Amino acid sequence: MLDFVRNNRRLMLLLLLVLVFPSFVFFGVESYSRFMDSSHDAAKVGGRTITTQEVDNVLREQSERMRQMLGSAYDARQFEGPEARQAVLDQLILQRVVADEVAREHLTVSNERLYQAISSIPAIAQLPKKADGSVEDKAYLDLLASQGLTPEQFDARMRFDLATQQLGQSVGATAFMPKSLLDRLIAVRDQRREIQPLLLKPADYAGKVNADDTALKAYYESHRQAFSVPEQAKVEYLVLSADALAAGITVTPEQLKSYYDSNIARFRTEEQRRASHILVAAPKEAPADQRQAAKDKATRLLESLRKNPQSFADVARKESQDPGSAEKGGDLGFMGRGALVKPFEDAMFALQPGQISDVVETDYGYHIIRLDEVKASQTRPLEAVKGELEAELRKQLAAKAFTEQADAFGNMVYEQADSLKPAADKFKLKLQTADNVTRQPNPALGANNPLNNEKVLQALFSDDAIKNKRNTEAVQVGPETLVAARIAEYRPASVHPFDAVRDQVRSAYVAEQVAELARKDGEARLATLKQSGSADGFGTMVTVSRQQPAGLPAKALEAVMRADASKLPAVVGVDLGKDGYAIYRIAKVTQPAQVDAAQRQAEGQQLSQLAGQSELEAFFDSLKARSKVEVLKPAKTEAAAE
């Protein structure tokens, strides 16, 4: 069953797209209303356009996000080419049609569900908490502000996201897996067959092949492409990048000191106080008599603590109504200013270590606070953060230098197109070389080599670059990386002469012939065995199943398991190509005595999910049809035009 899931990844990705889209992370969402020249429209959904610029922006954001996540393992090629652009365009179209359906059906979620979803976002769950366990207001507002959002905007976006998920989940949940079909699928998967193999190996037929020059030359002429050498080039190239520029940048002590002073708040730790408290809960909206009773109880507890301060932790465990701290003896841990409601904070910062406050009233009830420890405000000195700041400043200066030099670099490699040396000298770059470069990426150069970039290769093998050996334009292969290249030596595609590849031709010819002889002999013997039913010549009996192939090639296993076993013994033949021909004698078919109930239930759920994904895909197709989706610039067509 897991194999079936793996073989249907497209459906799995589609479901994930809907259930997670839009995901609970903080990043910008493109506006749905752009008014641009129609020549830049990639698609229309219900009369509204998706522009090529929107596709470019999303592709760029995804590429940059992956670059930050993967670091040196990042491969920019996965975001290049028509396939990547088409995937993004399909994603944007799907977002539009789903958004239209959510609006059309007036789907929404309750305030309680919205609160639960927001609280579960890791970035929010990690924010400082108030005494009652809720998120501290200032920290929450600062987090949203850093993303350019107000609480109202974020609530609206989250509410829409949840409604969108609700749509996909409700459609996917309509599918189910019939018990009879599940039982049949499990039976087919778990069926075991006892077989005997008869292998006809190609090597056994080598003496029957006549590999004279006439036969070899005829084979060579009919397979010339197999002995060809693709066009190749020896290439010179320059890489202008922020990383390369950073290596040549020296950060002066004065720059470092100025940068430290302007960022000193990052290295300052404000005063932290560790306190314990006892809460007698009484919400502000509670009746007056209830709040008075809570206050009276807090007063009695305080009087007891004044007489026996050492009992504070025990009293907190027994009497405090703050579930987050009661079991810890009231301990709230270290906190700075702004983390708690003001009356509580004012009282805590007025205490000295070991002191117990008077009863403090807040909107949550009545508190008794004990200050346990104080950590004074500290500032890490420049020497302690020198390495960190130097690397950070060097990176910023390099990014600035790259921005300043990018245009000049592009102009120079264009204007002095016969050589890259002037640009190498001016920008102090290493002139690098690579040989055997072809139109297709070469893994031997390394995944991150710029000569494996599709745009660079396209420019490098243009007619002008080949004929006149001119520099390519400066091609951007990353957010802060430009590459210019030129062909120093060009070797057109050619075919090796027969005499140079005679041994290769002979090996290929003989391999083809012996495989063909094995196939013909095998088919003849198979026909005879079907008539006689003899077991002569077959090997040792082995048991195979779809889950336990016992070393059988995939093609052979499929033939054995699909063969008609209504009448036994049965024989089946399989052409294994260069590995010869195999005949299998099926002697017995069995089923497991019983199926593991837990495994059966899990597999039923998996298949139901796959059925739900199929329903979901059909639903999306219907939405697209109803929304009159029109693709104006398919990615492949656009790529070809470029």
Give the model confidence (pLDDT) of 458-517 as tens digits.
Answer: 999 998 889 989 999 999 887 788 999 999 999 998 999 999 999 999 999 999 999 999
572 by Cβ neighbours in 10 Å (0-12 / 13-18 / 19+) ranks as buried
Say whether pLDDT at 344 is over 80: yes
**pLDDT grade, residue 8 (50/70/90)?**
very low
Provide mean pLDDT across the span 200-223.
Answer: 91
pLDDT at 21 over 70: no
Least confident of 107-111, 348-352, 438-442, 595-599: 595-599
Q: Is the peptide bond before 492 cis (omega within 30 degrees of 0)?
A: no
Tell whether the model's pLDDT for residue 28 goes beyond 80.
no
Check whether 81 has a pLDDT greater than 50. yes
Distances in Å between the alpha carbon of 218 and those of 472, 504, 506, 519? Answer: 43, 14, 11, 22
Per DSSP, the residues of 120-184 read HSHHHHTS-B-TTSSBPHHHHHHHHHHTT--HHHHHHHHHHHHHHHHHHHHHHTT----HHHHHH
- Domain ranges, ordered by start, for the chain: 1-36, 192-225+500-590, 231-252+398-492, 271-376
Q: How sure is the predictor about 172, in pLDDT bands with cuts at 50, 70 and 90?
A: low
Please report which helix (H) or strand (E) contains residue 275, including its range. strand 272-281
356: DSSP letter: B
Residue 641 has pLDDT above 50, yes or no: no
What's the pLDDT tens digit per position in 360-406?
999 889 999 999 999 888 888 888 888 888 888 888 888 888 888 98
High-pLDDT (> 70) share of the chain, %: 87
Structural contact between residues 326 and 243, judged by C-beta atoms closer than 8 angstroms: no
Taking the C-alpha atoms of residue 594 and residue 586, their distance in angstroms, rounded to an integer, is 23
Q: Which phi and psi angles does 484 have, rounded to 5°?
A: -125, 140
Please report, to the nearest 10 degrees, the dihedral formed by the alpha carbons of residues 75, 77, 80, 84 taken in order. Answer: -70
Q: What percent of the chain has pLDDT over 90?
A: 35
CA distance 636 to 642: 10
pLDDT digit string, tens, across residues 431-462 = 999 998 998 888 888 777 888 888 899 999 99
pLDDT of 294: 92
- Whose tokens are 């593991």? That residue is 596
Q: Looking at the predicted structure, is the pLDDT value of residue 106 above 80?
A: no
Residue 2: burial class (beta carbons within 10 Å; 0-12, 13-18, 19+): exposed
Measure the CA angle with vertex 227, ends 226 and 231; round to 5°: 100
Q: Cα separations (Å) of 12 from 131, 165, 202?
A: 43, 15, 42
Q: What is the pLDDT, as a whole number, of residue 34?
A: 33
Q: What is the pLDDT of residue 42?
A: 77
Distance CA 117, CA 108 (A): 13
Give the pLDDT score at 18.
40
pLDDT number for residue 9: 41
**What φ, ψ does residue 572 adopt, rounded to 5°?**
-145, 140
CA–CA separation, 562 and 438 (whole Å) = 44
Residues in the chain: 642
Task: Please write the tens of the pLDDT for every residue from 551-588.
Answer: 899 999 999 999 988 899 999 999 999 999 999 999 99
CA nearest to 560, candidates 574, 548, 547, 550: 574
Question: Binning pLDDT at 50, 70 and 90, where does residue 114 land?
Answer: confident
pLDDT at 29 over 50: no
Looking at residue 176, its pLDDT comes to 66
Both tokens of 600, joined, read: 């059966």
Backbone torsions φ then ψ of 614, nearest 5 degrees:
-65, -40
Radius of gyration of the chain (CA): 36
The matching CATH number, chosen from 3.10.50.40, 3.10.20.600, 3.20.10.10, 3.40.605.10, for 271-376 is 3.10.50.40
